[in-house]
Amino acid sequence: MSEYNAWIFTIGNEVVHGRVVNTNASYLGRKLVLLGYNLLGNISLVDDVELISRFLRYVLPGSKVIITTGGLGPTYDDRTAEAIAKAINVDLVLNDDALEMIKTKYSKLNLPLTNERLKMALLPRGAKAIPNPVGTAPGIHVEVEDKLIIALPGVPKEMEAMFEGYVEPLLRSVGPDISLVEKEFEVRALPESTAAEVVNKVLKRYPVAYVKTQPKGTELGSPILSVYVCASGKSKGEVEELVNSLVKELIEGFTAKGGLVNSKK
């Protein structure tokens, strides 16, 4: 799976400083995982060209796709396009397609093309403009050899519409041909430390699977664990069979330790 490594960058002082909740990372994280990509991490960075470009250069060699959100607007601190250009050592240029998208948007509003609005049409040389059906700032699609850098706006409604309309079909076309199966259930009256013993034993039989226990109660009071199980492979039927077998063994192990499995999701 290393050839399908992915990273998420969420750009903006407001995100890093906690003034805006980072829902973009959770949305994109789920999407990338369900598409079969090996998501290695998400990074939140302030609007600093040097910082963003340095991190992009660091993760790019081992990545298939990098998706950024934020920093594509008309204000002075929207500098993601500049950071991407610097990271891949190209110039920012006026992109004809992006310019046409912006002209169309603002002509409908009977507003002039100011320098601030034209700024949103400056993309890294060789980039493609991603249409924005909700807002005004186009996204950015850059290919560096066999790697993709995708930049989307930070406004969630814009980002989600552009991802579903443009990015998701693209990622499906270049991504892994696998099926991912997930199961989730809840266990009560079982401390996570006890559950860990069961999980470790069972996973020795299923090394390709992933199991995560997440406490919702207290370890020594009234423990409640959410148990997440997933696996992926080329045959959906085989993966479903594997996950179902794993879940069955986990439940049997938890029950033997005194746990109460009272809900499955």
CB atoms within 10 A of CB 218: 10
92 closest CA partner among 107, 112, 105, 78: 78
Whether this model's pTM surpasses 0.95? no
- Chosen CATH of 179-264 out of 3.30.360.10, 1.20.1430.10, 3.30.70.1130, 3.30.465.10: 3.30.70.1130
Every domain of the chain and the residues it spans: 2-174, 179-264
pLDDT at 116: 95
In terms of Cβ atoms closer than 10 Å to its own Cβ (0-12, 13-18, 19+), residue 81 is: buried
pLDDT at 208: 86
The C-alpha torsion from 6 through 130 and 154 to 110, rounded to 10°, is 180
What residue type is assigned to position 53 of the chain? S
In terms of Cβ atoms closer than 10 Å to its own Cβ (0-12, 13-18, 19+), residue 251 is: middle
Alpha-carbon distance 197 to 182, whole Å?
Answer: 21
pLDDT at 264: 60
Sign of CA dihedral 6, 19, 27, 171: negative
- CATH level 3 topology of 2-174: Molybdenum Cofactor Biosythetic Enzyme; Chain A (3.40.980)
Q: Over the range 137-176, which residues count as b (16 or more CB within 10 Å of their CB) and which as e? A: bbbbbbebeebbbbbbbbbeebbbbbbeebbbeebeeebb
pLDDT tens for the chain, 265 residues long, are 468 999 999 999 999 999 999 999 999 999 999 999 999 999 999 999 999 999 999 999 999 999 999 999 999 999 999 999 999 999 999 999 999 999 999 999 899 999 999 999 999 999 999 999 999 999 999 999 999 999 999 999 999 999 999 999 999 999 998 888 999 999 999 999 999 999 999 999 998 899 999 998 676 668 899 999 999 888 888 989 999 999 999 999 999 999 999 766 5
Give the largest CA-CA distance in the chain. Answer: 71
